[in-house]
Structure 1
């Protein structure tokens, strides 16, 4: 069996980056928490809406507030993640990487 190995030394740039999915998920959780606080802080379920003359229940008010607060929370923490990414991009390091490529000839088979 014949092996051919090839070594190359390359340089690479390494930097830390925030995980955007975690920031968006935390923003959604923060939005749900804000909607929950707003639902019970301002009890508007005891009076009719002035424009529609409908009495909304507490779960309906919570749902309406979630429709507003979740995207706002995701946008705010997404912006925080972008700012962190810009700040951390300044601290990138250059490292040397040993790149090895090994090829085995398929014609040579050891039994």
Structure 2
């Protein structure tokens, strides 16, 4: 039995989101260690933050930004690449073994 199907390519959103999170982690690490000066008192809170705390704060900002950027890129790619579809002809066969299981 022959059937006509439409095939379209779509990006894998999980991969894009994982890469966005990894990009955010790397950006937070770079920002943390590039500005590692003396531990001065914060002008806003009056507290002293060590590098681990600064890294954690930057993770809270950089990871969602990376997720949003690469998630948005995946959506744009899905809209542009997803428009191109192609029709394929497939042959569908049923085995006797498949009939016995159902």
Give the TM bin, normalised by the shorter chain: 0.7 to 0.9
TM-score by length of 1: 0.79
* Equivalent position of 2:43 in the other structure: 50
Give, in whole Å, the separation in 2 of the partners of 1:71 and 1:92.
32
2:90 aligned counterpart, secondary structure: strand
Does the 8 Å CA contact 1:45/1:56 hold for their aligned counterparts? no
* Equivalent position of 1:26 in the other structure: 19
Does the 8 Å CA contact 1:45/1:57 hold for their aligned counterparts? no
* Equivalent position of 1:16 in the other structure: 9
Q: After superposition, what is the alpha-carbon deviation per residue over 1:51-110, rounded to whole angstroms, capped at 9, x for unaligned?
A: 22110000110011001100110110011111111111122110111122345787xxxx
Structure 2 stretches of 5 or more lacking a match?
none
Q: After superposition, what is the alpha-carbon deviation per residue over 1:23-46, rounded to whole angstroms, capped at 9, x for unaligned?
A: 111101100111011112223652
1:100 aligned counterpart, secondary structure: coil
Does the 8 Å CA contact 1:14/1:95 hold for their aligned counterparts? yes
Structure 1 stretches of 5 or more lacking a match?
1-7, 107-111
The answer on 1:78 being equivalent to 2:71 is: yes
* Equivalent position of 1:60 in the other structure: 53
RMSD: 1.9
* Equivalent position of 2:87 in the other structure: 94
- Size of the aligned set, in residue pairs, is 99
TM-score by length of 2: 0.85
Higher mean displacement: 74-83 or 37-46: 37-46
Choose between structure 1 and 2: higher strand proportion.
1
Choose between structure 1 and 2: higher helix proportion.
2
